Amino acid sequence: MRNTVIQTIGMTLGILGIFTIPAWSYEESQVEQGGTIRGQVTLAGGMPKAMAFNLVTIPDPVFCGRISTGTGWRIVEDFIVGSQGALKDTVVMLKGIRKGKNFELPKVTIEAKDCDFLPFVNVMKDQDELTVINMDPVEHDIQGYETARERGARVLFNRPLPMNPFHKVLNMVNSHDHLPGKPMVEKIHLQKERNIFVMQCGFHPYMFSWGIVVENPYYAITTQDGQFEISDIPPGTYTLTAWHAGMKKYLHREVTIEPNRTISVNFEYQSPIGRRSVHEMQENPHFGLEILGENVEITPSLRLQESS
């Protein structure tokens, strides 16, 4: 299983470029006559091929299959695309700001819930603590990686997340209360020129959560409609950068912020073409639902995933 996880991470991370975090430190100060950037990130070219995992080959297929296609597959929903190509979970950030508003980020807490890591995308500082809480009545295996352009992924930590003992399970498939288990806490320290972090479950490899280290507080994560807004920006000329976990590259745009003015900046990604992963849905007579036994079913009682 671990080799499968590393292969998946390698294919996903190996294609990502890394931009260097500058050596200067950020200074907090009062911003006068700050400006605002508003915009939208979209995906052109339709939905890319989905990464998908055959649940019968992975532990806890019945419980985790409550979110599935109904045919025994669990899809990695790394692309959430709305109306007219609106792209959710893109991080948009300004680079080159040395001084500005308060740089306090919310503590990063990730829940393992319904065999999924939530939220899918996080923003953090280097040396921030990451807290992971198991909300499921099954065990998870937490594997954290950082990226490098030429060397691929490097393991930061690998720790078990024990089965949550506090659940009041009425029915494993259809009804149970999500109660938090004992948290796992890790401090995230990325090596020089690495600023992307990804976490995956070694038992349930379709569970992903991504994080990106930012150098200042001027960032936003796009919502369901692909919209973003960054405000209270000191006047000046900067580089506005967009990053999405499923894409091969960053998008960059030079922007000039004028006092008390709002500008509009949009980004458009082109949908990845062809095979994105070794894990895709395909017919395999040796790994059908029947191998679970006559009385065992995988029922997407929580949510039916789209298979195409």
For the stretch 88-128, pLDDT in tens is 999 999 999 999 999 999 888 999 999 999 999 999 988 88
Burial of 52 (0-12, 13-18, 19+ CB in 10 A): buried
Residues above pLDDT 70, as percent of the chain: 78
Average pLDDT over residues 4-21: 42
* Reported pTM: 0.84
Q: How far is CA 93 from CA 60, 62, 112, 123, 209, in A?
A: 38, 40, 27, 10, 19
Q: 284 vs 68, which has greater pLDDT?
A: 68
Average pLDDT over residues 200-214: 95
Alpha helices, DSSP H, located in the chain: 2-13, 61-64
Q: Do the Cβ atoms of 106 and 214 come closer than 8 Å?
A: no
3-class SS at 146?
Answer: strand
What is the strand order of the sheet 251-257 is part of? 219-221, 91-95, 236-243, 251-257
- Return all residues near 220 (Cβ < 8 A) that are at least 6 apart: 91, 92, 93, 228, 229, 230
Structure confidence at residue 169 as a pLDDT band (50, 70, 90): low
Residue 86 DSSP symbol: B
Q: In angstroms, rounded to a whole number, what is the distance separating the alpha carbons of residues 242 and 220?
A: 10
- For 229-281, write each residue's pLDDT tens digit: 999 999 999 999 999 999 978 999 999 999 999 999 999 999 998 888 888 88
Structure tokens of 154? 């490097």
Q: What is the pLDDT of residue 245?
A: 94
Q: 221 vs 164, which has greater pLDDT?
A: 221
- For 107-118, write each residue's pLDDT tens digit: 889 999 999 999
